Amino acid sequence: MSVDLHSAWRIGDVEIPTRLVLAPMAGVSVQAFRRQGRRFGAGLVCSEMVSCAGIEHRNERTLGYLRVGADEHPLAIQIFGSDPAVMGEAARMVEAAGADIVDINFGCPVRKVTKTGAGATLLDEPDQAYRIVDAVASAVAVPVSVKMRRGLQDGSRDCLEVGPRLVEAGAASLTLHPRSAQQMYTGEADHSLTAELVERVSVPIVASGDVTSSAKAQAVLATTGAAAVMVGRGAQGNPWVLREMLDGAAAEPSREEVVAELLVFIRETVRELGDRRASGFLKKFYGWYLGHGRFPRAFKSELTQIDDLDEIERRLLAAAPGAAALVDQLLDELPVVDDVLLDGMPISIYGGG
């Protein structure tokens, strides 16, 4: 039976207009990415994870400020850390910045995070995970959600034991990526675990992992009973996949549409990060947008060697001259962003966004 991805659902008292959630991704989920995801149909967008230690210490190495645009709501801001008191204070700050939902990261498998006792490591420390969720839920009035993996090791079922405890502690929703931290992004996501978690808790579950098409989204929702699906890597440089999932019909964008969206993304990223930071940050996006057989591989490679963003724009428009009119149209339709800046808050420990 087909699931209507256009139907609304709720996390606590926050209404989410579609069943698609745009994943929080380090070095990717800047405001420009989130705003684009909303335009293409994501019902909920998420910031990349924000270090609570960075918030607490006002780290001078911050690479930007947390920005919340009026057209991003509903928005989840994801935080990570290992100290309940620090996490609670960070939650209060991101709520003040405009977050509709505070999301806690118990899923990151990267060593830089897990060695601090944060991320996926907390699935091995259920008591500490409980204390963190309790501290965050007690600190804010907005709903709290948690994103987690199945466990640290391959074959782990820890998520099924930890998940219900997190709900007891105050989590209003859980997102499960049913790969182990050891797997990173290899192998397949085991959504039979997602279905089991749905049966064990009373809050909405978001299914994450390998959701790359309308057919896959429908299959995951139908077989797990999850409330929504989370789309991550499949949307990198490919916002059209969100529209395809919602409408159930694949329509490959024209070269002009691809270039127009990329140019708007470039301009929005420059507005957000500044020319110098944006130049390096954007390089990975050229391959993502121009891949999928849309442009020659040599052209994508050439762009990554260029630091001058004006030159990037000239080359893109030379490759698809008709994109210029589409860019003007898209920019005219974008609402003016009234940012809320939380001074001193690093967006990510990874850099580049």
Annotated catalytic residues are 108
Outline where DSSP puts E strands in the chain: 9-11, 14-16, 20-22, 44-46, 50-51, 75-80, 101-106, 144-151, 173-180, 205-208, 228-231
Residues with Cβ within 8 Å of residue 18, at least 6 apart in sequence:
5, 6, 7, 8, 41, 42, 43, 246
CB atoms within 10 A of CB 161: 13
For residue 134, what are its two tokens? 């309790």
Expressed in angstroms, the distance from the first to the final Cα of the chain is 40
Distance in angstroms (rounded) separating the CA atoms of residues 332 and 353? 25
> Cβ atoms within 10 A of the Cβ of 13, count?
10
Read off the DSSP letter of residue 101: E
Q: Which residues of 103-136 are buried (b: 16+ CB within 10 A; e: fewer)?
A: bbbbbbbeeebbebebbbbbbbeeeebbbbbbbb
HEC sequence for 247-315: HCCCCCCCHHHHHHHHHHHHHHHHHHHCHHHHHHHHHHHHHHHHCCCCCCHHHHHHHHCCCCHHHHHHH
Distance of CA 16 to the CA centre of its chain: 15
- d(C-alpha 106, C-alpha 57), whole Å: 22
If one counts every other C-beta atom within 10 angstroms of the C-beta of residue 86, the result is: 18
**Tokens 């808050």 -> residue:** 345
Q: How far is residue 98's CA from residue 73's CA, in Å, rounded to a whole number?
A: 9
Residue 173 has phi, psi (to 5 degrees) of: -165, 150
